[in-house]
Structure 1
Amino acid sequence: MGLGPRLELRQSQQLVMTPQLQLAIKLLTLTNVELETYIGDEMERNPLLSTDDSSDARMDGDVPAEAAPAAVDPVSGGLDQLIGAPTSATDAPLDIDYTGEAFHHDSGSDLSDWGAAASSGEGEDNDFERFADAEASLADVLGAQASAAFEAADLVIARHLIDLIDDAGYLTETLDVVADRLGVDLAHVEAVLSVIHGFEPTGVGARSLGECLALQAREVDRLDPAMAALLDHLDLVARGDLQALVRVCRVDREDVADMIRELRRYDPKPGLRHGGERAPPVVADVFVLRGDDGEWYIELNQATLPRLIIDRDYQAVLEQGGDKATTNFVGDCLNSANWLMKALDQRARTIVKVASEMVKHQRGFFEHGVSELRPLTLRAIADAVEMHESTISRVTSNKYLQCERGLFELRYFFTSGIGSADGGAASSALSVKDRIARLIAAEGDDTLSDDQLVTILKGEGFDIARRTVAKYREALGLASSFNRRRARLVAAA
């Protein structure tokens, strides 16, 4: 075989992630709050992007009204359709006229006052979260008290100890290590720590739970020898061993019960009274509203998203008399703006379509509660809406749904199933957990064992094993029947 250059024609298949497809995937995974931030960044980079905040704004209207997210029975579309969408420069920009008459009565929020207020952003001027001062952290509170109580070398030691106190209020380092690190006597560090123990909140700077509770007991003049003995044997309190506590504390049963009731009034984590940064509020991405006809309607939360348009006037100004570089820049900005608006529209369509199918499947939950929650998988929704399972996963990640029953993560409605003992439809694992919690809450003095719970659940049609009941009970944070019985004895003592 001769060696030399030659031409060959080969055919192969490969998946290419175009920038437009990458943008669509990225937007689909963002929550409304994250999307608002992303749009703000894009508006800073793209001078042609603008928001329609004025009531008399006019848009091109090149796209028909159905391009807007539909509240009921959304039209087909989504990420899967965006993959095959045309990419030519003749694509019509999605300059949708949100102020037009077509958008006044096409929304599920028009069917209820709550939905209208939620979706329109009514009452945003009363957002008192914006005016609330940031809460002082535990370190700030302790630092202010240390500045008033110490000076010179003592203040240096005190600030070092405060830096070693965790969010719960406990000292995370031994005093001998601190003394070696600062090059001072151990007694000097202990003296400074004893003063810190008198700071607010009471119990801060403790090295153990017993010391934390003892500081609070001393504050209210309750740290007598019996209470000190009780705090030295908190393991017996945890086990509910009243007889051993009577012997250790050398008091009668009534006094032990009184001391335990006193302990319940103390704070085992005093530092948590002063948090760090305020947790950001969770904003619903989807509203589920009941109409007057009894049907359920889906609507996106548009209150957190700006209404994007392309500033045609500014585009005309840039194009008039501009050089080639300016013309290319304007063209790139126009294409980027069109693709962003198209991706946002497809994102809205996809979310509404998936949420609509999910609500249809979980209709029993919205009408009757968690007891009617049905097993649901991503594959089932993907098959119903004819999309890929990965698309459904992106849609439901980190997004929340607001309904009459509260605020829920979309992933909350996807649960495994428990078979039916009588051959009927399977039940959701969450509904079984809810039933177990209700049975234990209503058990009274007759504590139900896991075997008894299995018998009751099978009598109600749940085909469930004992180990599954134990797993669900532990997941709910409920103790075993033995520990629950002992806890009731301690409470009744």
Structure 2
Amino acid sequence: MALAQRLDLRQAQTLVMTPQLQQAIKLLQLSNIELSDFVDREIEQNPLLERDGGPAEAGLEFGGSEGGAGGEAGGGEGSSGGPGEGGLNGWEEQAPPPPSDGRTRDTVEMTSSDTMATGAEAPLDTNFENDYADDRFSDGTDGSSDVYGQWNERGGRGGFEDDERDLEATLTGQKSLRDHLTEQLKIDLPAHGDQLIGLALIDMLDEAGWLPGLDIPQLAAQLGCTAERVERVLAACQRFDPPGIFARSLKECLAIQLREKNRLDPAMAALLDNLELLAARNLQAIMKVCGVDAEDVADMVAEIRKLNPKPAVAFDHTPAQLVTPDILMRAAPGGGWLIDLNPDTLPRVLVNHRYFTRVSGAARNKAEKEYISERFQSANWLVKSLHQRATTILKVAGEIVRQQDAFFIHGVSHLKPLILRDIAEAIGMHESTVSRVTTNKFMATPRGVFELKYFFTSAIQGADGQASHSAEAVRHRIKTLIDAEKPEDVLSDDKLVEILRAEGIDIARRTVAKYREAMKIPSSVQRRRAKMSRM
């Protein structure tokens, strides 16, 4: 048989991941903050895209009883749907009427209930050794310019770069820890060299006000001074307010505060040297190493509890970043639940057709026409992708509400075991799509704000071999039992296993121990010691 080259024409179907499809998949897993940043970048790059701030709403209504009955697409005139058990029925694609102003509908308007689609569709680099000669670290003043201005010019935090100060920004501002310590530094350490060392130490403080991992010889070499001088400045800084600041460890932090109160006696020093015994509630060992009786130990422990292991927490408070939910859920007046997309998290983007018509008609050559056409297609694809993302999120959230209906009515003890495959099969999507949708998405419910991933828990076999229980519900039950235990009857892991099996939950002792440790609950021995010490 002779070998020869030839050309064959064959027809085959393949799935090609185009850049547009990759973009649509990427948009699914973005959080609302990441999505807003992405849209901002696209608007900067595409002159045909613009934002629109008009009001719009999107939502679904899920009516029914506890078991999660049927749902209907609720909202506008063009919505459709009828009740049906266990699923979202009656979804039909509607042709949205064009807006009266002649523009294209934006992404939020496209997710309204009358237009919902179907399911088929810079480091600090300061060389102190060169910038500040050894005479800067003389004990007297050298008549140079203000050391704080020099520090700020070389990359230190704080201060103003020019003389224009925003008075309104400082009227209600809370004093920072750095400002508080700098004021004391100016008074207690008048030498400029000492102040430079103090400023370096201030900038090394962590959120608790500690200096973990402080290498004094390395800092001295960087600043071009002796290690003894750094030690002396550090000792002076440790007398600053708040007490316990500039400590290098928990022991030193507590010792500074006790010394401030004149309570650092030999017995207390011995207790600080054996803090691990205090953490283990080993009172007998503490009495032995400190040479005191039980009453003295109780007094010493009470004094330590009054101390602040994190002296910097009263300063530089960063407001807690509140989670903005992507889905809003509330009870329907006639029973069931109402599910809405949060319009605040949906970028309102539209394509400016009028501008496209004007610039396309003014194109002078082929390159300009191709660029305008590519930008127009990209803009349309982005709007479509954002609409598809919002629709998919709403579908997944709606199915989660159906599946976990008992949780929203009765609480965490009724949380059902749920995996991605259950949702994917119910709504006709792939597991990977459901996984992307539930990543960094939050839903505001009558029981609080939850990440969508929270509702997916593994199953624990029931004692009867049939019923299964959610792992999260079992953890909640274990915590409830431990919170209700009495000092004279602390529940061991084995006892917890017996109680849970009596309630129909077949669970191993090692699983109970794993759940308990994950919730940061001490062992039964440690809990007994802690409860007895409070009596």
1:443 aligned residue: 485
Shift of 1:13: 6.0
1:119 aligned residue: none
C-alpha change, 1:12 and 1:358, in structure 2 (3 Å) is same
- Per-residue CA deviation, residues 111-146 of structure 1 (Å, 9 max, x unaligned), is xxxxxxxxxxxxxxxxxxx99988776556545543
* Contact residue 419 and residue 463 of structure 1 kept, 8 A: yes
Q: Find the partner of 2:437 among 370, 395, 400.
A: 395
C-alpha change, 1:299 and 1:401, in structure 2 (3 Å) is same
Q: Find the partner of 2:386 among 344, 357, 361.
A: 344
The separation in 2 between residues aligned to 1:477 and 1:27, in whole angstroms, is: 36
Mapped pair 1:468 → 2:508: no
1:22 aligned residue: 22
Paired residues for 1:331-370 under 5 Å: 331-370=373-412
* Contact residue 418 and residue 429 of structure 1 kept, 8 A: yes
The residue type equivalent to 1:319 in the other structure is S
2:105 aligned residue: 95
Give 3-state SS (helix, strand or coil) of 1:303's partner.
Answer: helix
Single out whichever of 199-208 and 467-476 deviates more from structure 2.
199-208
The residue type equivalent to 1:166 in the other structure is D
C-alpha change, 1:383 and 1:319, in structure 2 (3 Å) is same
Q: Find the partner of 1:300 among 330, 336, 341.
A: 341
The separation in 1 between residues aligned to 2:431 and 2:114, in whole angstroms, is: 33
C-alpha change, 1:13 and 1:54, in structure 2 (3 Å) is closer
Give 3-state SS (helix, strand or coil) of 2:325's partner.
Answer: coil
C-alpha change, 1:384 and 1:262, in structure 2 (3 Å) is same
TM-score by length of 2: 0.74
The separation in 1 between residues aligned to 2:271 and 2:380, in whole angstroms, is: 71
Single out whichever of 9-18 and 209-218 deviates more from structure 2.
9-18
* Contact residue 94 and residue 341 of structure 1 kept, 8 A: no
Mapped pair 1:416 → 2:416: no
Shift of 1:451: 0.8
Shift of 1:99: 7.5
Single out whichever of 28-37 and 238-247 deviates more from structure 2.
238-247
2:41 aligned residue: 41
Q: Find the partner of 1:149 among 188, 194, 209.
A: 188
The separation in 2 between residues aligned to 1:244 and 1:157, in whole angstroms, is: 42
* Contact residue 370 and residue 430 of structure 1 kept, 8 A: yes
Shift of 1:211: 1.2
* Contact residue 237 and residue 245 of structure 1 kept, 8 A: yes
* Contact residue 246 and residue 256 of structure 1 kept, 8 A: yes
2:421 aligned residue: 379
The separation in 2 between residues aligned to 1:327 and 1:28, in whole angstroms, is: 31
TM-score by length of 1: 0.80
- Per-residue CA deviation, residues 452-481 of structure 1 (Å, 9 max, x unaligned), is 111111111111111111111111111111
The residue type equivalent to 1:18 in the other structure is T
Shift of 1:329: 3.2
2:303 aligned residue: 262
C-alpha change, 1:251 and 1:161, in structure 2 (3 Å) is same
1:113 aligned residue: none
1:32 aligned residue: 32
C-alpha change, 1:176 and 1:341, in structure 2 (3 Å) is closer
The residue type equivalent to 2:193 in the other structure is A
* Contact residue 65 and residue 96 of structure 1 kept, 8 A: no
Give 3-state SS (helix, strand or coil) of 1:335's partner.
Answer: helix
Mapped pair 1:168 → 2:208: yes
Give 3-state SS (helix, strand or coil) of 1:401's partner.
Answer: strand
The separation in 1 between residues aligned to 2:334 and 2:417, in whole angstroms, is: 27
Q: Which has the higher helix share?
A: 1
* Contact residue 77 and residue 346 of structure 1 kept, 8 A: no
The residue type equivalent to 2:333 in the other structure is D
Paired residues for 1:86-235 under 5 Å: 95=105, 141-143=180-182, 145-150=184-189, 151-171=191-211, 172-179=213-220, 182=223, 184-235=225-276
Shift of 1:29: 0.9
The residue type equivalent to 2:207 in the other structure is D
The separation in 2 between residues aligned to 1:327 and 1:180, in whole angstroms, is: 63
C-alpha change, 1:98 and 1:312, in structure 2 (3 Å) is same
Task: List alignment gaps of at least 5 residues for structure 2.
Answer: 57-75, 81-86, 94-102, 117-168
The separation in 1 between residues aligned to 2:9 and 2:112, in whole angstroms, is: 54
Single out whichever of 433-442 and 276-285 deviates more from structure 2.
276-285
Mapped pair 1:430 → 2:472: yes
- Per-residue CA deviation, residues 232-270 of structure 1 (Å, 9 max, x unaligned), is 222221222223333433433222212211111212222
* Contact residue 135 and residue 277 of structure 1 kept, 8 A: no
C-alpha change, 1:489 and 1:77, in structure 2 (3 Å) is farther
* Contact residue 107 and residue 386 of structure 2 kept, 8 A: no
C-alpha change, 1:135 and 1:4, in structure 2 (3 Å) is farther
* Contact residue 422 and residue 461 of structure 1 kept, 8 A: yes
C-alpha change, 1:164 and 1:48, in structure 2 (3 Å) is closer
Give 3-state SS (helix, strand or coil) of 1:402's partner.
Answer: strand
Bigger relative contact order (CA 8 A; separation at least 6): 1
The residue type equivalent to 1:439 in the other structure is L
The separation in 2 between residues aligned to 1:375 and 1:251, in whole angstroms, is: 53
RMSD of equivalent CA atoms: 3.5
Give 3-state SS (helix, strand or coil) of 2:426's partner.
Answer: helix
